[in-house]
Amino acid sequence: MAFTYKHVIFNVLVLLSIFNTCHTEELKFGFYKNTCPSAEAIVKQETSRIISVAPSLAAAFLRMHFHDCFVRGCDGSVLLDSTRNNKAEKDSFPNLSLRGFGSIARVKSTVEKQCPGVVSCADILALLARDAISDKHGAFWPVRLGRRDGRVSKSSEVLANLPAPNFNISQLKASFASKGFTTKDLVVLSGAHTIGVSHCSSFSNRLYNFTGKGDSDPALESNYTAFLMRRCKRMDVGSLVEMDPRSYKVFDTSYYKAVANKKGLFTSDSSLLADGETRAYVTRHAATPDRGLKSFFGDFAKSMVKMSEIGVLTGNRGEIRKTCSFVN
């Protein structure tokens, strides 16, 4: 896919040359060129080591980056531990299933040994998410650096900012629009569900008593519903199911084919068929998986650049944490 990446990177770099706000003006490529020139190489090397041992963490890192950026911006606040006087984001219900905190801490420790007090946890998480997906032959996007770490993390802010798996299309569009995303960004970033797994509790409402009459969600294909019921019995909250039933270990466009065939795991996935623009994107990429892959990778790169720069702290705002789970 090298030819794809060259075109993707060029197009995204053009986008970045015109995409600039007061929040992102101090982010730049080569930010650590003088202060920690090996930072990006260290993160990339450590990410490859992690993914070679635990490939499922690629999806976990991407999800954590998403959850971080949608609450208070991309400031690493999702990495902070709760304290006696404060319940942090990571202990809110939607974040209880996040994984990879220990791996992020190890990468941070490795970077700290080389360059103490220089590279933020927020930047490390942004690079980890990108490098993990790229390491699995998925999309690649350029990451400008210079984020600083936030000092505030509140569990109470999570539900109001994260789009829920049971959102309908109107709720999804409103949630993404509140973060500066377009409807196209919404359907593109939903494509991240092409890798990874989910606990039954995130979609079991679709299987049992959907409308209070002991029924299932008619938006699900009947055989797929039966399959999910075998995997997730009533009241099962711990079992895991692949988000993309065709290729949950591969970053590709098969997610869109699943959605088009009424096999989207979450209500939010099925909801993409309820809007003209999102439905068109789904059906186009479901019908032409080979040509669609190049298009999807390019779109995903552009949307990820936007997401990775939501509400960043730069300059003198925030801090550079010594340990990602605690403020200095």
Output the CA angle 241-131-40, nearest 5 degrees: 150
Flag whether 310 is in a domain: no
pLDDT tens sequence across 33-70 = 999 999 999 999 999 999 999 999 999 999 999 999 99
Check whether 19 has a pLDDT greater than 50.
no
Instruction: DSSP letter for 313, please.
Output: B
Average pLDDT over residues 102-129: 98
Say if residue 269 carries a ligand binding annotation: no
Same domain for 196 and 103? no
Displacement of CA 28 from its chain's centroid (Å): 21
Check whether 22 has a pLDDT greater than 60.
no
Q: Is 304 exposed, middle or buried (0-12, 13-18, 19+ CB in 10 A)?
A: buried
pLDDT tens sequence across 258-309 = 999 999 999 999 999 999 999 999 999 999 877 778 899 999 999 999 999 9
Report d(CA 164, CA 135) in Å as an integer.
Answer: 28
Flag whether 250 is in a domain: yes
Per-residue confidence at 84, pLDDT binned at 50, 70, 90? Answer: very high
Q: Using the structure block, give the residue that is written with the tokens 């208070």.
A: 72
16-25, 190-199, 235-244, 245-254: least confidently modelled range: 16-25
Catalytic residue among 7, 65, 67, 137: 67
Flag whether 300 is in a domain: yes
Instruction: DSSP letter for 164, please.
Output: P
Say if residue 75 carries a ligand binding annotation: yes
Same domain for 97 and 9? yes
Do 147 and 27 touch, CB atoms closer than 8 A? yes
| CATH number of the CATH domain containing 239 | 1.10.420.10
Check whether 10 has a pLDDT greater than 70.
no
pLDDT tens sequence across 305-321 = 999 999 999 999 999 99
Check whether 227 has a pLDDT greater than 90.
yes
Flag whether 318 is in a domain: no
Say if residue 199 carries a ligand binding annotation: no
Highest mean pLDDT: which range of 1-5, 214-218, 288-292? 214-218
Residue where a domain terminates, one of 162, 178, 209: 162
Whose CA is closest to 241, among 214, 211, 220, 213? 220
Flag whether 253 is in a domain: yes
Do 249 and 135 touch, CB atoms closer than 8 A? no
Same domain for 241 and 191? yes
67 has catalytic annotation: yes
Same domain for 181 and 139? no
Q: Which two tokens stand for residue 158?
A: 């999570």
Per-residue confidence at 224, pLDDT binned at 50, 70, 90? Answer: very high
Report d(CA 68, CA 162) in Å as an integer.
Answer: 10
Do 181 and 306 touch, CB atoms closer than 8 A? yes
The total of structural domains in the chain comes to 2
pLDDT of residue 214: 87
Per-residue confidence at 144, pLDDT binned at 50, 70, 90? Answer: very high
Output the CA angle 301-303-304, nearest 5 degrees: 65
pLDDT of residue 289: 73
Check whether 16 has a pLDDT greater than 80.
no
Say if residue 295 carries a ligand binding annotation: no
Say if residue 100 carries a ligand binding annotation: no
| CATH number of the CATH domain containing 39 | 1.10.520.10
Query: CA Rg, the chain, in Å?
Result: 19
Report d(CA 273, CA 265) in Å as an integer.
Answer: 13
Report d(CA 4, CA 136) in Å as an integer.
Answer: 15
Per-residue confidence at 104, pLDDT binned at 50, 70, 90? Answer: very high
Average pLDDT over residues 81-107: 97
Same domain for 130 and 22? yes
pLDDT of residue 291: 76
Residue where a domain terminates, one of 124, 147, 162: 162
Say if residue 89 carries a ligand binding annotation: yes
Whose CA is closest to 324, among 174, 125, 66? 125
Same domain for 199 and 150? no
Report d(CA 278, CA 305) in Å as an integer.
Answer: 20
Residues near 174 by Cβ (< 8 Å), separated by ≥ 6? none
Same domain for 146 and 275? no
pLDDT of residue 209: 87
Per-residue confidence at 160, pLDDT binned at 50, 70, 90? Answer: very high
Per-residue confidence at 15, pLDDT binned at 50, 70, 90? Answer: low
149: phi then psi, degrees, rounded to nearest 5: -85, 135
Flag whether 320 is in a domain: no
Same domain for 210 and 115? no
Same domain for 178 and 91? no
Round the average pLDDT of the chain to a whole number and report it: 92
Which alpha helices (H) appear in the chain, and where do they start and end? 2-18, 39-53, 57-70, 101-114, 121-135, 158-161, 169-177, 183-190, 222-231, 254-260, 267-270, 276-287, 289-307
Report d(CA 269, CA 193) in Å as an integer.
Answer: 9
pLDDT tens sequence across 196-207 = 999 999 999 999
Per-residue confidence at 24, pLDDT binned at 50, 70, 90? Answer: low
Same domain for 114 and 41? yes
Q: Which domain holds residue 87?
A: 2-162
What amino acid occupies position 237? Answer: V
183: phi then psi, degrees, rounded to nearest 5: -65, -35
Residue where a domain terminates, one of 115, 139, 162: 162
Do 280 and 98 touch, CB atoms closer than 8 A? no
Same domain for 154 and 182? no
User: Whole-model pTM?
Assistant: 0.91
Same domain for 184 and 102? no
Q: Using the structure block, give the residue that is written with the tokens 């999807």.
A: 296
